[in-house]
Amino acid sequence: MALAKQSTRGLYTATTTPMTSDGKLNLSAIGAQVDRQLRAGIAGIVAVGGTGEASALSVSERVDVVGATVEAVAGRVPVLAGVTTPGLPDTLALGRACLEAGAKGLMVITPYGTAPSQAGIRDYYKAVADGVGRAVMLYDIPYLTLVATKPETVSEIADDGSIFAMKASNPDQAAFTWLVELVGDKIAIMSGDEHLFAVQVALGAVGGVLASTNLLPKTWVQIFETARAGELALAQQQIARLHDFLVTVYAEPNPGPMKAAQALTGFDVGPVRLPNKAPDAALVSTMREQLTELLAYEKALAV
């Protein structure tokens, strides 16, 4: 069954892609990776997105990772495939292959590299949905693509049934507030920003697609439940405990620091591939110190 607004909520982890020490895919590690997330209460998995190093993987490797993730999840939660290619033909080909590999849905990034108009973005998502045969999750991340999808455009895309959800990774809170007003009853809005997560849930996001849930999934589930219960001040305090670490783990391009931090948690997913780089040794040392208390808190949390 395809994903829909009503069934999309909670925290989805944008997983890293495990690799061997020589940079080959380590598909056998995905089972343990997924189990760690689901035991913590994570509601879904997004494979081969930016955190999954999609741009460093071949098309066949991306599909292999999606297939291995689907197998590991075994129907327990939805698996979405990140589709971060900028052109329509490649997006359709990859999207269809990932769906055939078992993904329940696709998280499709806004087209980039050509500075598309809002009308172009609107028509692009209709072409994608029509081409793969189902609605998709719109992924808006203007600080990477240099293209922001206006809330009015999202509303038009939602009205024609091309999207069931949106990952909003835009720090413009005024735009987010208007987005909720326009489409909160039409699609599932998912926060894509750790620092703004609690506020965005309070405003109407029904969950999030985050990368740092790779490291502290139970902590983030607690934050989500707190914010969803209307205790925004407490949720903000819970995020404040993570602030310094979040600044550090994103101080260098993701997922280099994220993978290094995973190793510090006791789950080594291997190196990154070019153009990604391993983080500076001093940054790793700082993360080690910051994670000591955070991991102790994570371990003490009940599921």
User: What integer pLDDT is reported at residue 137 of this predicted model?
Assistant: 98
Q: Which residues of 262-279 are buried (b: 16+ CB within 10 A; e: fewer)?
A: bebbebebbbbbeebeeb
Structure confidence at residue 159 (pLDDT): 97
Which of 37, 80, 78, 82 is closest to 55 using CA atoms?
82
Burial 13-46 (b: 16+ CB within 10 A, else e): bbbbbbbeeeeebbbebbbebbebbbebbbbbbb
Measuring CA to CA, how many Å separate 229 from each of 174, 179, 298?
A: 23, 21, 20
Residues sharing a CB contact under 8 Å with residue 27, sequence separation 6 or more, in sequence order? 18, 64, 65, 68
Closest of 115, 111, 108 to residue 132, by C-alpha: 108
Encoding tokens for residue 264?
A: 């510090």
Spacing of C-alpha 169 from chain mean position: 10
Residues with catalytic roles: 139, 167
Residue count of the chain, please give it: 303
Domains detected in the chain = 5-231 (3.20.20.70)
- pLDDT value at residue 302: 80
Question: What integer pLDDT is reported at residue 1 of this predicted model?
Answer: 66
Q: What is the pTM of this model?
A: 0.96
Q: pLDDT value at position 2?
A: 79
pLDDT digits (tens, 9 = 90+) for 124-154: 999 999 999 999 999 999 999 999 999 999 9
Residue ranges of the chain with per-residue pLDDT less than 50: none
* Spatial separation of the C-alpha atoms in residues 283 and 247, rounded to whole Å: 11
Instruction: Report long-range pairs for 91-97 (Cβ below 8 Å, ≥24 apart).
Output: 91/128, 92/128, 92/131, 92/132, 93/59, 94/59, 94/62, 94/63, 95/128, 95/131, 95/132, 95/136, 96/131, 96/132, 97/59, 97/63
